[in-house]
A = this chain, B = another copy of it.
Amino acid sequence: MFSGAQVSLYPMSGNFAEIILDAVKGLNPYRDALRIETDDISTLMVGPPDVLFSAMRDLFVAAAKSGEHCVLSAAVSRGCPGEPDDPACGTSLLERDALPLLERIDAASKTVAAAPASDQPAAAQFSLYVMGIGDHMDEIYGCIDFLKRSGTFDRSKNFCTRLRGDAGAVFATIQEAFCRFGPPEGHVTLDITISANSPTKA
């Protein structure tokens, strides 16, 4: 298994570089568990999905606490056949047997309910892509059933689902969508957008 993300942080502020550099300090606790490489477009983070989502959450929350309108955008991937297998990406989240869809929906909902709060409201939308299988929409519809029970569901949009709530619950919801749907060893990706402090009303 190889898992990771290309992550970008966009503070809509003339002070964007300083906000990003400050927020990146929030990644320090994760540097032992993640491989992190930055260029001018995004930061690559490679490692187990649970560490990855905690790191993205803390990065986002640190930037959002600046009070400026900030967006985190990421392409998240696991099991891509074009990437080398990496033992550092192993996680019990994916090593379990593939449970029936209803059991996965139930387990995912419980995990979100137990997610610690960050005291940072967030609005998000994301798309889940399941590749290499013929019945990919069954997994997508199962995931949507989970999202509607997650407590963070806002509404369905074309191509994606909107969430809202505390950033802790929002990131937990997206992590569960990523880890519980699609085959455990399959190629699954996410396109995620998480926003704070927008001056536009939802």
Contact = CB atoms under 8 A, between A and B. Distances in A.
Interface of A: 4-6, 8, 10-17, 39-42, 44, 46, 69, 71, 73, 75, 77, 80-83, 123-125, 127, 129-134, 136-137, 140-141, 157-160, 162, 187, 189, 191, 193, 195, 198-202
The oligomer's copy count stands at 2
A201 B136 CA distance: 39
Given A14-B14, A41-B123, 17 more contacts: A6-B157, A8-B71, A12-B13, A39-B200, A41-B125, A41-B193, A41-B195, A44-B159, A73-B193, A77-B158, A81-B137, A82-B137, A82-B141, A131-B131, A132-B134, A189-B191, A191-B191
A191 B192 CA distance: 9
Contacts of A162: 41
Given A6-B157, A14-B14, A132 B127 contact: no
Contact of A131 (B73, B124, B136): B136
